[in-house]
Structure 1
Amino acid sequence: MSSNTPFEAADIIRARKPGFAPRVALILGSGLGVLAEQLVDAVSIGYADLPGFPISTVHGHAGELVLGTLAGVPVACMKGRGHFYEGYGPGVMTSAIRTLKEIGCELLFVTNAAGSLRVEADAGSLVAITDHINFLPGSPMSGPNDERFGPRFFSMSNAYDAQTREQVKAVAAEKGIVLHEGVYLAAAGPHFETVAEIRAFKTLGADVVGMSLIPEVIAARHCGLKVTAVSAITNLAEGLSPFALSHEQTLKYAAIAAKDMVTLIHAYIERVGSTPRADA
């Protein structure tokens, strides 16, 4: 993949929606594509038409970038993402994230479906991510560093921006949405975890587990994007529930959690609209 791929994709986006400069980038996980349907004056571009964007092979991940306004705020909305388990490698989301930065985004708001290691955060609930544990092989930043996007070595100490998360929590409280907090652990998948692995993950300090999120978060922090992330809980992790895990269950409970997630994101974007751009 060419190091200029993010710039090529950005040029295509500008040509399709001239003068559009999004403030917030959204990545919508399984069952959450409904939010993109709320965008006003929307333009959709398939990932196949955008160099460097991952074409997902997973049911529930549409694979298109939707550009428009939400609550009066310009946003770029990724319907679907690429995953390590699809064979892309740890850099699966790097070029797409850099493209979002290049077209003007200041904040990456990531959602995904995840399993909970805490019984009080059951299927259908939401968890704001405070930090992560990376069990995916390698790093999206391994290999030659492209100084145009960020430094060789960079801090992950505030990977999930604390100030932004407090704003999201305040919005959740205003809307009467229960929003848990927790540490996210990414496993490679595509199989679900074993009971022993879940016990180990709990010992390590994980609260939720999934197969995505971290590749795009690392890429976003490298290029200077702030990040906030909320997981839609689709199941209690293996060994914590009598129900067998399946992708069908993931989609079912993602749809249940989507109602609160859509309300939360919409209200948060409204709050963003009341503050000036960082470069204004």
Structure 2
Amino acid sequence: MDLHREEFKKVQEASHWIKSSMPFIPKASIILGTGMSSWLDELNIIEEFKIKDVPHMVPPTVETHQGRICFTMINEVPTIILAGRLHYYEGHPMSVVVRPVRILYTLGARHLLLTNASGGLNPEFESGDIVAIRDHINLVTEHPLRGPNDDRWGPRFPDMKYAYDPDWLAYAKEKGESLGINIKSGVYAGLPGPSLETPAEYQYLYRIGADLVGMSTVPEVITARHLGMKVLALSIVTNVCYPPERIKVTTVEDVIGMVEKKAIAVGNLIQEVVSYIK
């Protein structure tokens, strides 16, 4: 059996396992990034599974990524949430990294909202800013659609002009304003990680048009768009990376700490923007 047929089979089997116990067919799907899992405590969780218990799903190893699958209603929208994601730098094949997106689609979700932590390259960005990603630059070394195309998931050459749904993004900015949150927008550069970038790399990324830099999201977004899903991505700026004189040594603890400070605000925003799907 070729690898792509095998991958399709794994997605179907994982989805069948979840479907056997899930309380509803989700319309919205959310993948929570670093530091955001605490927001789940604010929600009424109807059903929950551990990622490690689902066939062919791999639990994340990164700190604060809890490895939970939660079902909840957000503003009357049936929603599935993955508390934690896989990163390419964890050593998995790219097909494994993006498998959760294909599972979410197979379960019924047609909208995907992602959160992440990022370094800020735009000189107007500050630590703690919430940024809606409007476009990305893919610098991850392996493309999630590399190899023979599986037409059951999408076309060979999916268009990426609207990788991030502009109407949903505009809706998010409106909802942010109503909550007193200034939602900025920017271009996200996705790198493989796990090392943070050098000052020279930050300068290069800024010069090619990036406002943010991080180690996730881009493969998931490409996969979601291949499937025809609409995407919104919210990024929390955890450290300032440009200009060079503003760069400080950054630790994982710094990143997690900043996201945790903003988790409730981002969670409140998520609850509002999910209503776009009604």
TM-score of Structure 1 vs Structure 2, range by shorter chain: over 0.9
What's the CA shift for 1:144? 2.0
Equivalence for 2:201? 197
- TM-score normalised according to structure 2 size: 0.93
1:243 aligns to 2:248 (yes or no): yes
TM alignment of 1:1-280, pairs within 5 A: 2-18=7-23, 20-237=24-241, 239-272=244-277, 275=278
Two-structure CA RMSD over aligned residues (Å): 1.5
Letter in 1 for 2:102: R
Question: 1:69-126: CA deviations, max 9, x gaps?
Answer: 1222211101000001111133333221111111111210010010101233211110
What's the CA shift for 1:259? 2.5
Letter in 2 for 1:21: I
Contact 2:25–2:108 under 8 Å retained in 1 = yes
Go from structure 1 to structure 2 and tell me whether the alpha carbon gap of 1:36 and 1:235 turns closer, same or farther (over 3 Å shift).
Answer: same
Structure 1: distance between partners of 2:42 and 2:20: 23
Structure 2: distance between partners of 1:169 and 1:231: 13
More divergent stretch after superposition (252-261 vs 181-190): 252-261
Contact 1:32–1:254 under 8 Å retained in 2 = yes
- TM-score normalised according to structure 1 size: 0.92
Go from structure 1 to structure 2 and tell me whether the alpha carbon gap of 1:184 and 1:109 turns closer, same or farther (over 3 Å shift).
Answer: same
Structure 2 portions without partners, runs of 5+: 1-5
Question: 1:153-188: CA deviations, max 9, x gaps?
Answer: 111110001111111111111111011110000111
Question: 1:121-143: CA deviations, max 9, x gaps?
Answer: 21111010010001101211111
Secondary structure of 2:153 counterpart: coil
Structure 1 portions without partners, runs of 5+: 276-280
Runs of 4+ in 1 over 3 A off after TM superposition: none
**Identity, % of aligned positions:** 35
Hey, which of these two has a bigger chunk of helix by percent? 2
Structure 1: distance between partners of 2:42 and 2:205: 37
Go from structure 1 to structure 2 and tell me whether the alpha carbon gap of 1:51 and 1:173 turns closer, same or farther (over 3 Å shift).
Answer: same
Structure 1: distance between partners of 2:22 and 2:94: 30
